[in-house]
Amino acid sequence: MKALVQRVSSACVRVGGETVGAIGRGLCVLVGVAAGDSGEDVDYLVNKLVNLRIFTDETGKFNLSVADIAGQMLLVSQFTLIADTRKGRRPSFTGAAPPEEAEAMFENFVQACRRSGVETQTGRFKAMMLVKINNDGPVTIMLDSRER
């Protein structure tokens, strides 16, 4: 499971002209589910996300997490994070979990984030989404549960 984490001043997701998720200060997280991912991958990434210290304290150092600042999270499913680009010019997505499996895993991820106490919004699984991100910093970090 991969998560591309962006520290944002705000972010929103629109589907068909309708805003389905929006946050203020916090994290916009693009989430890709790989074949073979499990509940352990979910637990690892949720713990990492909620406690990742990428917000600055009064001295300007990365000492605060999204939980520390009472920030929000916007989670967006993004199977293209699992792309394999090692061969040729067209990405291969064979490493991504099948849609039904990925949707269940993504929903588990969303629920675990909500249980952490951080306000969490989402996009819409399998929808064509327009994601507006106001990256703050910019700060962008890739997390991969298989690299723990």
Determine whether 80 is an active site residue: yes
Q: Is 78 a catalytic residue?
A: yes
Helix (H) or strand (E) holding 31: strand 26-32
6, 55, 72, 78: which is the annotated catalytic residue? 78
Catalytic-labelled residue, pool 19, 80, 93, 111: 80
Q: How far apart are CA 95 and CA 33, in angstroms?
A: 9
The CA-based dihedral angle spanning residues 90, 94, 96, 100, taken in that order and rounded to the nearest 10 degrees: 120
Distance in angstroms (rounded) separating the CA atoms of residues 27 and 64:
13
Q: Residue 57 corresponds to which amino acid?
A: D
The catalytic residue among 6, 55, 72, 79 is 79
Catalytic (active-site) positions: 78-80
